[in-house]
Structure 1
Amino acid sequence: MRFRKISLDPPKVLVLGFTLIILIGASVLTLPASTTDHQGLPFLKALFTATSATCVTGLVVVDTGTAFTTIGQVAILLMIQVGGLGFMTFATLFAFILGKRISLKERILLQQSLNSISMEGIVRLSKRILIFTAFFESIGALILSIRFSFDMPVGKAVYYGIFHSVSNFNNAGFDLMGEFRSLTGYVNDPIVVFTICTLIITGGIGFIVINELYEYPRTKKLSLHTKIVLAATGWLLAAGTLFIFLLEFSNGKTLGPLSLSGKALAALFQSVTARTAGANTVGIGDMTHSGLFLIIILMFIGASPGSTGGGIKTTTFTTLLGAVWSQIRGKEDVVFYRRRIGYETIYKALTVTMSGLALIITVTMLMTITEKGTDFLMILFEATSAFATVGLSMGLTPELSPAGEVLITFMMLAGRVGPLTVAYAVTLRRKQSPFHYPKGKIMIG
């Protein structure tokens, strides 16, 4: 009797890989040794936490700093690291250690996992990703450890420094400060603010961009992708900081009581963290409706392709803006830096954006049913945060019903692999039609 070999395409392998990591992590968090009450988390809450960690989101139903033992916290940190860099990157690391050759299929999976345009040099890039990650996380851990040592014993400060460096470089937003207060105690601290912001931005621009910047002194060249990512990131961070500063300037519960420099630091941090990181230095639930809506927009856009962040990505947003601007000007082509963007890229950007909107609308609608009596803006904020793997919350997460936890768990996983999977599925399955139908006309607008 012959058995047919089951072959999975790369997007399915990625989904199954993330799911397997989540289930293993959830099993660890249910163990008595993982929680301070020695009872272990109920499976649903453990699954939620493991999904949030693996999908580098940061939404939590229990406080990470007080509910988990060191074993539980380290398990969460490992899930953050594997989920942020992608399990295929770690699989490649083990292959290097064992002296195993990287097969063509594994190279394709690496390309999908890293959201790379080309397979050329993909193994070399994966090696550098591990080096870049170790470098930035080590520097961040060192600075934060020194700063935290002024507030706590040295051993605890080092542990906190490592945890928060890894968490924020991977855009996860988990913290150990306790009582769901994140980094609000350091709102006026430039060392903590600038260190965390640098980690978030570096992890969020994407490893392809980091690699090109690393090679720039030798090549003196930057790809169109890198130019767009850097420009979009800069503009979004600047605009986000300015508008949060203006919208929250007189809000007595957020920026109001702070000095002018404190207001600027807090506005900058909230603009940076909304790009899929999840830490916060002011109470998110205390922000004005206009400020919250701005955060929702920034969360939806998210980080950049091939990074540790989520959202529809900066390049997707920029491509759609370019298409709209070209239509307004009556131009046929979308052009950036004297390079024309192909129609297949524009269609892909539209597919990713509409898929993201459909997910958010569907889950928000369902949660208005499961979370009765909850403010609509709070539900929309939570759904967007989960989709974009941000981790910011207005305080709804710990109060979610079991059905709400299931919906947000699904949303975090879909947000981590959904848009990427849809984009590559569109690319992989695109076929040239042997004929064209007659052109039809419809009215638009």
Structure 2
Amino acid sequence: MLSFFNISKWSPPRILVTGFAFIILLGGLLLSMPFASREGLPTPFIDAVFTATTATCVTGLVTVDTGSHYSVPGQIIIMMLIQLGGLGFMTMATLFALVLRKRISLKERLILQEAMNQTSMEGIVRLIRKVILYSLTIELVGAVLFAIRWSFDMPLGKAVYFGIFHAISFFNNAGIDLFGQFGVPYVSLTEYVDDPLVNIVTMLLIITGGIGFIVISDLVEYRNNKKLSLHSKVVLSMTGFLIVFGTVVVFIFEFTNARTLGSLHWGGKILASFFQSVTPRTAGANTLDLASLRQATQFLTIILMFIGASPGSTGGGIKTTTFTTLIGAVIAMIRGREDIVLFRYRLARERIFKALTITLLSLSLVIVVTMVLSTTEDQAFLKILFETTSAFGTVGLTLGITPELSTVGKIIICLTMFAGRLGPLTLAYALGPRAEKELYRHPEGKIIIG
């Protein structure tokens, strides 16, 4: 018990969990202050903590509309929490250490390795430099393009502010927006459903933020290396497949739905289908009214949200590489092969066990939370399952029940977002006892499977 309070002996997962929890509580405290709201009144602490959690965990579910409820200082706090949560507090701490020319210790490198989901410490500080450079560059480009577009709809100063806020929000896959201040709360990007520039820039920010910094680095250096790592090949191929598959299915299911795609022209139908396929990759923005989607489309969205983004990114979910490994295991079993082979590389059994563990832990979390919320909330089952999966995948899409959650429901969703951002496996490592090496192996036994 005493070792829990001895920070010097804490494992990297425990430090990450504690660090994120501290940032959320601090952010919640600031957002509950009167200066953070437009009306100059204190925000209920549970709602402030919920907002801090959804910002730090880059989710996007909100109990109060960000644009109409929070003042500019409050919105800036939310924007900072999104940036801090998306890149990770250890990444930001490393940035300050590099600026101050301080040495990165071995302990700090281990924490960075855990935070970036890396298998080795080799080159971890170099990767962090790239993460910071790529992130700021992509966000800057996105902010400029947004500001140019929105300067036609609002004063230039406000357009610049909106550009910066939404570039940070969308790249970090948070999906929190400020458009509710124009009269209709929780409106997201529905007013820009057929606007090519807003849609394309938003989707590119979401995709680049979701594929992960390792893949971005590989793509940037491809001109010199002329090759991609196995990880990048898997991420890009599965990401592309899921986006195309989702686009086609949404287009087919919603083509005749007058409340979604039915009223749009052909270009708008394709653009909206594409957007609704990209955003479940943990982004949280939407251009169609999700509550008006057919149940089949809503269920597809749940599946895409559960899969989520890719390792080392700003997104959540079980990750595209985990899903690819599971598909590979099924194909290998059907073909009677012992090894999972991807792009002529064999996967280690350790990777397969980790993929199975993450998937089962994640599925168990979604099932338990859905069951609990079904007893605490007076909502349809599909809406609760959608909300739970969105929270776990740090997506932020909702069928409209987030503001109606009870206090218990808000707390449960906060914990789910927290678990989804850090990952069930990281939480298990952080909260569980220190692993001890087994001194012996049991004899092999056989059971009948299937």
TM-score range (shorter-chain normalised) is: over 0.9
1:340 is matched by which residue type in structure 2? R
Aligned match of 1:384 in 384, 389, 403? Answer: 389
Match of 1:274, SS?
helix
Q: Which stretch shifts more, 31-40 or 214-223?
A: 214-223
Give 1:10's aligned residue: 12
- Indicate the residue corresponding to 1:41 in structure 2: 43
Name the structure 2 match of 1:60. Answer: 62
AA partner of residue 39 (structure 1): L
Partner in structure 2 of residue 242 of structure 1: 248
Q: 1:203 to 1:123 in 2, by over 3 A?
A: same
Summarize deviations over 1:366-389 as a string: whole Å, max 9, x none. Answer: 0011102x1000000000000000
**2:115 aligned residue:** 113
> For the residues of structure 2 that align with 1:12 and 1:159, how far apart are their CA atoms?
36
Q: Distance in 2 between matches of 1:423 and 1:247?
A: 39
Which residue type is aligned with residue 235 of structure 2?
A: V
Q: Distance in 2 between matches of 1:35 and 1:134?
A: 28
Amino acid at match of 2:141: I
Distance 1:425 1:398, change over 3 A: closer
Amino acid at match of 1:307: S
Amino acid at match of 2:169: S
**Matched residue, 1:414:** 419
Partner of 1:404: 409
Q: How much has 1:438 moved relative to structure 2?
A: 2.1
State the TM-score, normalized to the length of structure 1: 0.97
Q: AA paired with 1:181?
A: V
Query: Structure 2: which amino acid aligns with 1:149?
Result: S
| One-letter amino acid matched to 1:384 | T
Does structure 2 conserve the Cα–Cα contact (< 8 Å) formed by 1:312 and 1:419? no
TM-superposed CA distance for 1:440, in Å, is 1.5
**Deviates further, 3-12 or 279-288:** 3-12
Match of 2:22 among 20, 23, 26: 20
Partner of 2:213: 207
Aligned partners of 2:17 and 2:430 also within 8 Å: no
State the one-letter code of the partner of 1:371: E
* 2:125 corresponds to: 123
The Cα of 1:419 is off from its aligned counterpart by 3.2
Question: Do the aligned partners of 1:58 and 1:173 also contact (CA within 8 Å) in 2?
Answer: yes
Match of 1:336 in 2: 342
Q: CA deviation at 1:420?
A: 5.1
* Equivalent residue letter for 1:291: T
For 1:432 and 1:35, the matched residues in 2 are separated by 52
Aligned to 1:324: 330
Per-residue CA deviations over 1:31-60 (Å, capped at 9, x if unaligned) read 100001111211111110000000000000
Offset of residue 434 of structure 1: 4.2
Query: How many residue pairs were aligned?
Result: 443
Name the counterpart of 1:291.
Answer: 297
Give SS of 2:341's match: strand
Find the counterpart in structure 2 of residue 100 from structure 1.
102
Task: Provide the C-alpha distance between the structure 1 equivalents of 2:331 and 2:21, rounded to a whole number of angstroms.
Answer: 40
- Matches of 2:105 and 2:73, distance apart in 1: 35
Are 2:347 and 1:355 aligned? no
**Residue 274 of structure 1 pairs with residue 272 of structure 2:** no
Tell me how far apart the structure 1 counterparts of residues 426 and 399 of structure 2 sit (CA, whole Å). Answer: 29
Is the counterpart of residue 152 in structure 1 residue 158 in structure 2? no
Report the residue type matching 1:335 in the other structure.
V
Conserved? CA contact 1:116–1:208, under 8 Å: no
For the residues of structure 2 that align with 1:250 and 1:419, how far apart are their CA atoms?
A: 39
**Matched position secondary structure for 2:187:** coil
What is the alpha-carbon root mean square deviation over aligned residues?
1.8
Alignment of 1:290-309 (within 5 A): 290-309=296-315
